[in-house]
Amino acid sequence: LGFLLTVFVGVTVINGAVAAVADGVALRTGKFAAKTLIPVVGGMFSDAFETVAGAALVLKSSIGLFGVIALVVSCFFPVLKLFAITLIYRGTAALLQPLGEDAVSDTLEIMARYMYAVIGAVAAVGLMFFMLITIMVAAANLPTMLR
């Protein structure tokens, strides 16, 4: 799980960096084309193009922040539910141990232990989504810094 998480982050960072450089080149090309190809008002149009790009960047960053908040909220409740199920398994195993056969309580204890692996997997997926959103927002900021 750790190796796959590392590969995922590496591929996403490289993809975000390449896309950001391409977007920066497109932004500079658009500004240059507006400045040179539009007579009389080309300079003003180029400056307006830069202002619109900055406003789009602010909008994209705020949408990215909303995505991170939504991700935290959407991952919190499943993890909380999995913890509750784990506690129920452990409590049931503790109650059944003196009353019944040991195999049943041992099985419930093993299920509770493996629920921690499921919680770890859910947390890893949430972390991957968080990193993906953060990298994409940072990659969106990079073309503006490269102009």
With a CB cutoff of 8 Å and minimum separation 6, the contacts of 104 are 96
pLDDT per position as a tens digit, 14-37:
766 666 666 666 677 777 777 777
Is residue 6 scored above 90 in pLDDT? Answer: no
Q: How far apart are CA 141 and CA 146, in angstroms?
A: 9
- Encoding tokens for residue 79? 């993890």
pLDDT at 19: 65
Q: How far apart are CA 103 and CA 26, in angstroms?
A: 66
Nearest to 140 by CA among 20, 4, 52: 20
Mean of pLDDT over the chain:
78
Q: Give me 24's structure tokens.
A: 């920066």
Is the pLDDT at 108 greater than 80? The verdict is yes
Instruction: Answer for the pair 71, 122: CB distance below 8 angstroms, yes or no.
Output: no
Distance between CA atoms of residues 64 and 57, nearest Å: 10
| Calculated CA dihedral for residues 136, 12, 69, 62, nearest 10 degrees | 0
The pTM score is 0.60
- In this prediction, residue 139 has a pLDDT band, given cuts at 50, 70 and 90, of low
Tens of pLDDT along 40-60?
677 777 777 777 777 776 777
pLDDT > 90: percent of the chain: 20
pLDDT range class, residue 132, cuts 50, 70, 90 = confident
